[in-house]
Amino acid sequence: MTTANSVVDRPGPVSRIAQVPRQLSPDILLAIVAFVGLCIAVLMRAPQLLEPDDYAYRAAIVALSHGHILLSNAQYLALGHQLGSATSSAGPGGHGAIQQWDHLANGLWISEKNPGYPFLAVPFKWLGALRLAPLVYGLLGCIGLWFGARRWLGRWGGAFAVVLYCSSGAALAFAWRATMETFTDASLVAAGAGALLWTLLAADAAQRRRCLVGLAGILALVAATFARYTDVIALGVAVLAIIAVARRVGITWRALQLWTTGLVVSGAGILAFNQYAYGAWDKTGYAAGEITFSPSALLPNLRHMPAHLVQAMPMLLLGLIAVGWIAVRAATASRTADPAARAARRRDAVVAGVVGAGWLGFWGLYLCYTWTAQMAAQSGSAIHVIRFYLPALGLIALLGAWLLARLARLRMRLGAWSVAAVLVALVVAGGWSYQNLVTGGAGPGGAPGGGAPPVGAGPQGGGGAPPQGAPPPTASGSLGAPPSGTANGSSG
């Protein structure tokens, strides 16, 4: 029975809300402040289209918001007219409102970019809040990093990982660019890596929870791969790690079956999309030879990229120090008398080895990218070339968080103060880098673009201008109608 006293003693809604901040631990508050700071820094700056890739993605998102993946010629012209009217100035190089789209042999048009990001962004376009897309996926990345690093490193590990992830100039610059996939796919990699790290280390958690969190991690990595096909590196490393340690960490056969099913079904969906959109399961929107990797590009990239990367992601230095320190600790583990300490050192070495393999895979591939070897030396090119290295951002944050957590455990005030000083320095450096990247990045930039020339431009690259005599934009060719003369010109 409810008494008068119990009613009086029960806290009301206002008092419960007032108690929430007191219930949040300092590490949670630090992580929240870091993410909120990222959002504020991003949303305070007006959006801007910096390179052809922005125009390609914007057109794909708008087309998909009307239900179309492939466009007829009339729809393509109508979309160019619509976006040209909405753009206050010409695109990079003075070109039109649609850039880097391909004119297919069947007469239809499609963006040459990897197709996943428009699908991830279109719900926000429908809501009129496209700028929130990278921030929401960034939140997922932060949540994954927080739980994964906290399970690995202890209470403050998650907060350190989130601060490192949100504070770099690279993260800020690409979270600001909602018409680019860069921060979104990096965040999905971070979310997947964090979720799988938690799953593999949480031996004391319920098997059902481990199974579902692991599945979410794998699907996040698949979604990242759909947005940027080279993110398959992270997916491949994760699969190999699961195969290697599943029995040792107590992953059940049922969980492995579910994860395999999710991976196969989602992977088959990507291949089916390629078959539908590009005519073959192993084709993409890029022409053969347009995107090239070569060992000959390694030295030119090494001459210029390290400076760009350190300025945009200074926490990479923490990650490198962490890898070295973990390697030394693992090599000397046998000299430690405490069995628990030896096990902890070996566990750190395994985790760092897997995380470091993903980092090395991404950066090793793009250090052989021929386009960045040509672009990296140009003034104002930083924002255009560092984006290929961003998928490793969450992995670097995990390694950097290990170093900070280790320093914080030093039994002296110097440890805590040194961590605080490092975090403050990184935040300041991130703000400076963010300003330099976005103010110095306007210009031609962009990844190599074959495909179609901009609407209204002459023939160029590997595509072609709209066919001679193409019909002008009319009601029958508007984006709201299916492409005339084709049954598969829309996603619906």
What integer is the mean pLDDT of 407-416?
73
Residue of 127, 49, 45, 128 whose CA lies nearest to 93: 49
When computed from its CA atoms, the radius of gyration of the chain, rounded to whole angstroms, is 24
pLDDT tens-digit series, residues 387-400: 999 999 999 999 99
pLDDT tens-digit series, residues 104-118: 888 899 999 999 999
Q: How confident is the model at residue 218 (pLDDT cuts 50, 70, 90)?
A: very high
Of the listed ranges 87-101, 306-320, 333-347, the least confidently predicted one is 87-101
Mean pLDDT value across the chain: 84
pLDDT tens-digit series, residues 429-471: 999 999 999 887 655 555 555 444 444 333 333 333 343 334 4
The tally of CA atoms less than 13 A away on the side-chain side of residue 66 is 21
Res 310 pLDDT > 90: yes
Q: How confident is the model at residue 16 (pLDDT cuts 50, 70, 90)?
A: very low
Q: Please list, residue by residue across 87-105, b when 16 or more beta carbons sit within 10 angstroms of its beta carbon and e when fewer do.
A: eeeebbeebbbbbbbbbbe
pLDDT tens-digit series, residues 20-36: 445 678 999 999 999 99
Q: What is the pLDDT of residue 491?
A: 33
What is the distance between the alpha carbons of residues 114 and 366, in angstroms, rounded to a whole number? 17
Residues 6+ apart with CB under 8 A from 104: 70, 110, 279
What is the pTM (predicted TM-score) of this model?
0.86
Q: Which amino acid is at 263?
A: L
